[in-house]
Amino acid sequence: MKYMLLIYVTEADMMKDDPGVIDRHLAVTEKAIAGGAYVGCDALEPTARAIRINVKDGAVNRTDGPFTELKEVLGGFYVVDCASDDEAVALAAEIPHPPHGTIEIRRIATIPGWDDAVAEIRSRVGKLPARAG
């Protein structure tokens, strides 16, 4: 079963220089890879570079960050494939996060027929070229 491990932090925590945090995340990543659970992970930039949109009647309303009203923001995430909730909790407990941070564990929903539909679209559309960074 796939899970998203959502890492919530404060904006202030995101800006702190923590020289060992990358090594701690790499240790968790290595453990997840060794256990066959790793799917992917990434960090997110602060909300100063975030964009929110909502669409109403076809009109797109865009709001650029920062979003100062938020106490905690999504700072990063892991996607893992675990045999149980307990395995996901154990892995999430090892993710480094600041004292004021929270890790939310969410099961990724299985939508019947989705993978087949995406495979059909990929075969029809073909592989898209890589985007320049």
Q: State the average pLDDT over residues 20-39.
A: 94
What pLDDT sits at residue 21? 87
What pLDDT sits at residue 127? 67
- Asked whether residue 133 carries a pLDDT value surpassing 60, the answer given is no
The number of angstroms, rounded, from the C-alpha of 18 to the middle of its chain's C-alpha atoms is 20
The values of phi and psi at residue 98, to 5°, are -65, 165
Q: State the average pLDDT over residues 13-32.
A: 89
- Separation CA 117–CA 96 (nearest Å): 37
pTM, entire model: 0.82
Please give the share of the chain, as a percent, with pLDDT higher than 90: 59
Of the candidates 54, 103, 53, the residue with the CA atom closest to the CA atom of residue 78: 103
- Asked whether residue 99 carries a pLDDT value surpassing 90, the answer given is no
Q: E strand or H helix at 101, and its extent?
A: none
Q: State the average pLDDT over residues 94-118.
A: 89
Q: E strand or H helix at 59, and its extent?
A: strand 59-64
The position carrying tokens 């004021």 is: 100
Residues 6+ apart with CB under 8 A from 44: 73, 74, 75, 76, 77
